[in-house]
Structure 1
């Protein structure tokens, strides 16, 4: 049994295409909203593949007409104490969002349709977001009398700036994938019929790259707003020392000298 087959569940499709692990949220009747079963399945996959050398990149998308509509309202119990509610949120952050955001493997989100609240946060926790141009999006927390969650107050200002982040979160308004591209919220907005092919091309390109260098570059960029110039330069020097000793670096130099495309192995 393959790793992908072993990790597939009723609510989460898992397919490995060479070095790319493709994850498909599969609760189309509920707009792929995040219920406990789906969150558990995502956490399990992220835990299993972090150190799986056969997985060099990941692609996350949704089935049906949604990417992910956010949290499952049917599981939101208004009678939970604040302590219980906080514990559930902390578990979601610790088991799904942080592992997705911090994985050294490049992750591409293919936003095929509705992406709202925590569902849009899930996409933005990925490294490269490719969206259908007409996909409806929103951060509608305030319209439900709630504050944002799932790390979006960290991610959003870093992507679009503080003024735009406040406008999107304060209004809760809807916008499209094309609007998101104009705002710098996503990397690419494409016609819906081209989405999966484009996202797969991006994931395949990243998966065939020097993934040790990519993982370290990702980590440095994530730290860049928190470290001083001197501290980050020190991290750069340390990271380059690691990559200079890698087989991928040796292959990159050889390919340059031989005037041919490099064939990286992620080592």
Structure 2
């Protein structure tokens, strides 16, 4: 099965779905076609066992420059604008954060606004030290969107969140790593290889355990301590019954690396 479209490259290699935003002339800005392509892939892979991890990157010199300004019609009513935004969040951003597959973003170049939000909705972000980034909403007279008011304070704290959102200033991938905004910042030439290595490592992992861990971490933002330890107990019970747990124990006893099957 192929999920590629003219605006989104999609190829499964050794259990890793490599997704490439493919609008390089528009710096991979999120237009309607690209949003629809992403939504379709995220729906399709949720229960597809051939996909064990996802690697997301962009063609050309940008990861994603944000929303496509050419499709932002000022004649839309507030209700119409809200409906379009609601569809984007529920078709792309929520499925991205909630897919049981671990997702690694390779941010080699420009990442701004909703494009940077797209990266941060992934599980791990590897960025070029020189990648230009920003949340420039206020510079366009807009409020933040795509879940950034939820994601950003959890990643870097409220004071830094306000500083970035109120100013709309640009910063680099190196600064983002220093703030804890991304997992790693590496030399520009190493971004894709490092992100790919992380994605392959996750694809080779105990995917049931990874999926449940991802789900619990997402829930931890709004559940209390008692609820979380109940979720942990349930998840432990599920993973103890998996073949991957048995393999993990056996590999420990035999002093070798485990070979997980995702079951």
Same fold (TM over 0.5): yes
> Which residue number corresponds to residue 187 of structure 2?
191
Deviation at 1:222, TM superposition (A): 1.1
CA distance in 2, matches of 1:104, 1:245: 18
**Which deviations, in whole Å up to 9, do the C-alpha atoms of 1:228-253 show, x marking residues without a partner?**
11110011000000000011001001
Which blocks of at least 5 consecutive residues in structure 1 are unaligned? none
Counterpart selection for 1:86 from 64, 82, 86: 82
Per-residue CA deviations over 1:192-234 (Å, capped at 9, x if unaligned) read: 1111100000000011000100110111111112111111001
Is the counterpart of residue 225 in structure 1 residue 218 in structure 2? no
TM-score (norm 1): 0.98
Inter-partner Cα distance in structure 2 for 1:22 and 1:251: 27
2:208 corresponds to which of 208, 212, 221: 212
In the other structure, the counterpart of 1:8 is 4
For residues 182 and 260 of structure 1, what CA distance do their matches in structure 2 show? 35
SS of the aligned residue for 2:258 comes to coil
Counterpart position of 1:31: 27
- Distance in 2 between residues matched to 1:150 and 1:186, nearest whole Å: 17
The equivalent residue for 2:68 is 72
Paired residue total: 263
Where does residue 131 of structure 1 map in the other structure? 127
Q: Distance in 2 between the 1:137 and 1:119 partners?
A: 9
* 3-state SS of paired residue (2:261): coil
1:107 corresponds to: 103
1:236 maps to 232
One of 146, 153, 159 as aligned partner of 2:149: 153
2:49 is the counterpart of 1:40: no
Q: How far apart, CA to CA, are the structure 2 residues paired with 1:158 and 1:55? A: 28
Structure 2 gap segments, 5+ residues each:
none
- SS in structure 2 at match of 1:7: coil
Q: Given the alignment of the two structures, is residue 57 of structure 1 paired with residue 53 of structure 2, yes or no?
A: yes
Whole-angstrom distance in 2 between the partners of 1:265 and 1:64: 35
The CA RMSD measured in Å over matched residues stands at 0.5
User: What TM-score do the two structures reach when normalised by structure 2?
Assistant: 0.99
2 CA distance for matches of 1:34 and 1:80?
18
Question: Segments of 4+ in structure 1 off by > 6 A?
Answer: none
C-alpha separation in 2, matches of 1:94 and 1:111: 23
Query: Paired residue for 1:260?
Result: 256
